[in-house]
Chains A and B, each alone.
Chain A
Amino acid sequence: AQTVTQSQPEMSVQEAETVTLSCTYDTSESDYYLFWYKQPPSRQMILVIRQEAYKQQNATENRFSVNFQKAAKSFSLKISDSQLGDAAMYFCAYRSAGGWQGAQKLVFGQGTRLTINP
């Protein structure tokens, strides 16, 4: 079974600075998807960024980018120019790309609580 590990329960950063959140995963599959979700105090799960494992290029969405290291099974999220609105829980998630019955579920890490200091 696939597992996702986020080893940083909490992180903090000064406003306008850059912060990197870590995520590692374990899988025997070669094709899969990785995601970072943001959960603000409202509890709404918001997709921040996604990465397809077959793509070597790291995904980027405005101030958010990832460092995808497939061989190391690492998928870190970098937030540049941190803003107060970035304060939230961040979850890393894995999904198989297979078509089999159990492939559709998302497997989440434990989360990292990000605090932005003004």
Chain B
Amino acid sequence: NAGVMQNPRHLVRRRGQEARLRCSPMKGHSHVYWYRQLPEEGLKFMVYLQKENIIDESGMPKERFSAEFPKEGPSILRIQQVVRGDSAAYFCASSPGTDYNEQFFGPGTRLTVL
């Protein structure tokens, strides 16, 4: 069973461009979580999605950030008009359901904003 997949692994954007980060959950998992890790810090929750629904977006910045998890295809975290402060590692995790307490993490996408 393949693990959580994220691509790209590394993404470089110039200020003002858009960044799209993709996450394919483990097979059979319908719950996806996005976390952000700033340099030398712990992971911070951003958003929790189920297929076609955003369940908890309490950690998402109010502007420029959005996330989706369509019926078909990967979950997408989209950052519009990136700024240098968006430079971080973005991790996706998945789980099969709310009754399962473990979240399985992908390898992360390292976003660098020039």
State the A residues within 8 Å of B (CB). 4, 6, 33, 35, 37, 42-47, 50, 52, 91, 95, 97, 99, 101-111
Contact = CB atoms under 8 A, between A and B. Distances in A.
Interface residues of B, number: 25
A46 B108 CA distance: 12
A107 B45 contact: yes
Contacts of A101: 55-56
Interface of B: 31, 33, 35, 41-45, 48, 55-56, 58-59, 89, 91, 93, 95, 98, 101-103, 105, 107-108, 110
A102 B43 contact: no
Given A95-B101, A104-B33, A110 B56 contact: no
B107 A44 contact: yes
A37 B45 CA distance: 15
A50 B107 contact: no
A108 B103 CA distance: 13
A33 to B, nearest CB: 5
B17 to A, nearest CB: 23
Contact of A44 (B33, B35, B102, B105): B105
